[in-house]
Structure 1
Amino acid sequence: MITILLIIGFLIVAYIAFNKFYPSFGGDVSEEAQLIYKQSKQFKDGKFQNTNPVPEKLSFSENIKLAYTFFTTKVPNSRPAKNLKVDKLEANEVANYKGETRLVWFGHSAFLLQIDGKNILIDPMFGKVAAPHPLLGGDRFNSDFPLDIDKLPEIDAVVFSHDHYDHLDYESVLKIKHKTNHFYTPLGVGTHLKAWGIDETKITEMDWWQEVNFKELNLVCTPAQHFSGRKLSNGQSTLWSSWVIQSKKENIYFSGDSGYANHFKEIGNKYGPFDLAMMECGQYNEMWSDIHMMPEETAQAGIDVQAKKIIPIHWAGFKLALHTWTDPVERVQLKAKELNLKVITPKIGEPIIVKDSISKYANWWKNIEE
């Protein structure tokens, strides 16, 4: 009995120390910051909340059951049979690019946006696993990137949608912070960046519907229906969002992570139509459909925001749900055809001209052996 108690005590102490001192967890929102966040309509009772009452908080037993189901259920074709090949970019070409506004997908939800001579990273998660430690998650589907991270050009701005590990990654931030001029985040997410050594003068935190002018671009922090937290003790302590990025010629939308709700129509009515929308499509399940859209809802959300075309994102990166790795893109294509919505499916690294209406994109995932 004494031995068992000692082991339990050691595990508890180890867990507390891991949470407190392991840098990947980020920072904790201060009481002073919470006083500021009280001005937000989304902040109530010390936490950020969705407009709709979701997600429902799971009990401890429900969390254990969900975790057991995820780690024990075998899903055929849940990962590509081999490492996904990516289209490579030349560092000099990227650094000197002066052409039409374009996007480059780095996998999952990460993008490089080159617009009006500026370089903007969107949810730049370049880590191997979507977890606080390499032993706590499965490897991403693409081990290579279109451009090595250390060869990225100077970054004018980085935009984050929320603080989950598959969107905000400690090691990735360390690799880009020295070459990034400014960071834009929803309320509270800047706390993690400051904990990782980024000066607060380089961080702008924004609430839903707030706008900021950045070098003749208009950045708008817009709603999403999701949640936040990097450890058990700080859930909903930071806000989550989608983003609108507008130049004088282009209008772009990035959904972040979100369940399907009325905010898509609100955003479309206020800021649409969009030349291109990057729409979450992947890592879903009926058990958590209030915080991650099903593929058919992704297509409908594209209609709601008044997008001329959409790119399905949040797939082909990590196994974070119990569906096949190609299920998201195949289902969203079917629904989009029914809704007469254009869907483009670039390979990782394939440049996408935002206003291009001619280029065809292959169903590249069908050529990968199972």
Structure 2
Amino acid sequence: MVPLANAAGEPAPHRDGRFHNQASLPQDGVLKKLRIGLKYLFLRKPPQTRPATPISLQPMTREQVLDAPDHSMWRLGHSTVLLKLRGRFFITDPVFAERASPVQWAGPLRFHAPPLALDQLPPLAAVVLSHDHFDHLDEQAIRHLAPRTGVFLTPLGVGDLLMSWGVAPAKVRQLDWWQESEVEGVRFVATPAQHFSGRGLLDSNRTLWASWVIIDGDVRVFFSGDTGYFDGFKQIGERFGPFDLTLIETGAYNVAWPNVHMQPEQSLQAHLDLRGRWMLPIHNGTFDLSTHGWQEPFERILTLANQAQVRLSTPQMGERVSLDSPHAGQNWWQPRPVRQRGHAKERTMAAR
């Protein structure tokens, strides 16, 4: 199906060879970008930004994934989510690299290995990409997946990068905001986000960024990609909601970039604007991309969701979630109590 313009909204603003957000935002110069990059990505950060011990994962196997029922979903890390719809598999922003960085010898290091290795993924009907930043677009993963994937769905311009890496042009579908495409009976709509793009100092906003609406019959999922809070959430919710599950960016926020990443309070409001039934926070638990504690996004959004009576799903990486009936999950990020060896009686006997 050829992507078709949707009359529900305006295309992304584009002028002077660059894309722009719906709202006019301050533009950072090259020196400021370099300073932010060095400070938050490469220089030493507070120790609480990374877990002190290995985090708890749910082991996965290729066979379990293949045998799982339809409408299954798994978090593999950060914003990488594997979906099973109509017997086919789809993945968002597949990042399997050790570092979210232009180089693999420096930059934010993973907290955990992916619960399912890249070479164990099932054949993919589609890869769905939100934008070109390194924590969302992993060149080596794309090169590996190119012969094993039917379609790559990207915002405008990102597909050109994929083709330069060897992805066949016939597999690439580049969409503007409010355009849509169908893959194996599943409908994908590229919707607005408030963010920016670029993989270097001089290519800012040459490619588009987007969120995605995913529709399989009566099941509707929203994938935020990266975004600041903006009025577009209400428009998306009015046009495509209610959503059974919203995958909402909740992490890597900072006062230094308030317009392009959301604080947890804004993430919750975005979910409400979208008319979501369950919220699942993503963009956390894998890389230290800011200076807040790695557990903080989970704790803050859990408190906020309880106060607002919002149903929140926080599965472990690798834990299956049913899109038909999501579950709350456990607070797996919280420290587990240290168990003493032996029973009290044994310790008493040993003391004699």
CA distance in 1, matches of 2:27, 2:214: 33
CA distance in 1, matches of 2:38, 2:141: 29
User: How do 1:28-107 and structure 2 match up within 5 A?
Assistant: 40-54=11-25, 56-67=26-37, 69-70=39-40, 74-97=45-68, 99-107=69-77
Q: Which runs of 5+ in 2 are unaligned?
A: 1-9, 339-352
Aligned: 1:233 with 2:165: no
Deviations 1:23-78 (A, max 9, x none): xxxxxxxxxxxxxxxx9542111100000112x22234534543454355642411
Letter of the 2:24 partner, please give it.
Answer: P
Distance 1:233 1:65, change over 3 A: closer
CA distance in 2, matches of 1:369, 1:149: 33
Distance 1:41 1:164, change over 3 A: closer
Distance 1:95 1:49, change over 3 A: same
Aligned: 1:258 with 2:242: no
* Residue of structure 2 in register with 1:298 after alignment: 267
Aligned: 1:192 with 2:135: no
* Residue of structure 1 in register with 2:3 after alignment: none
Conserved 8 A contact 2:312-2:328: no
Aligned: 1:135 with 2:109: no
Q: TM-score, normalized by length of structure 1?
A: 0.85
Conserved 8 A contact 1:138-1:319: yes
CA distance in 1, matches of 2:43, 2:170: 46
Deviations 1:71-94 (A, max 9, x none): 556424110112324211221232
CA distance in 2, matches of 1:197, 1:112: 23
Letter of the 1:153 partner, please give it.
Answer: P
* Residue of structure 2 in register with 1:22 after alignment: none
CA distance in 1, matches of 2:139, 2:32: 29
Distance 1:61 1:154, change over 3 A: closer
* Residue of structure 1 in register with 2:341 after alignment: none
Deviation at 1:299, TM superposition (A): 0.6
Letter of the 2:49 partner, please give it.
Answer: S
* Residue of structure 1 in register with 2:278 after alignment: 309
CA distance in 1, matches of 2:247, 2:97: 21
CA distance in 2, matches of 1:302, 1:159: 20
CA distance in 2, matches of 1:350, 1:221: 27
Q: Tell me the percent identity.
A: 37
CA distance in 2, matches of 1:259, 1:280: 9
Q: Which has the higher strand share?
A: 2
Distance 1:147 1:74, change over 3 A: closer
Letter of the 1:48 partner, please give it.
Answer: F
Q: TM-score, normalized by length of structure 2?
A: 0.89
Letter of the 1:246 partner, please give it.
Answer: I
Aligned: 1:125 with 2:125: no
* Residue of structure 2 in register with 1:363 after alignment: 331
Deviation at 1:249, TM superposition (A): 2.5
SS at match of 2:63: helix
CA distance in 2, matches of 1:227, 1:67: 14
Aligned: 1:116 with 2:86: yes
CA distance in 1, matches of 2:134, 2:55: 21
SS at match of 1:297: helix
Distance 1:324 1:46, change over 3 A: same
CA distance in 1, matches of 2:174, 2:247: 22
Conserved 8 A contact 2:95-2:135: yes
* Residue of structure 2 in register with 1:326 after alignment: 295
Conserved 8 A contact 2:80-2:93: yes
Residue 283 of structure 1, aligned match among 232, 248, 252:
252
CA distance in 1, matches of 2:193, 2:128: 15
Deviations 1:262-320 (A, max 9, x none): 01111000000000010001111111010000011001111010000111100001011
User: How do 1:176-215 and structure 2 match up within 5 A?
Assistant: 176-215=145-184
SS at match of 2:333: helix
Conserved 8 A contact 1:81-1:369: no
Letter of the 2:62 partner, please give it.
Answer: A
Deviation at 1:151, TM superposition (A): 1.5
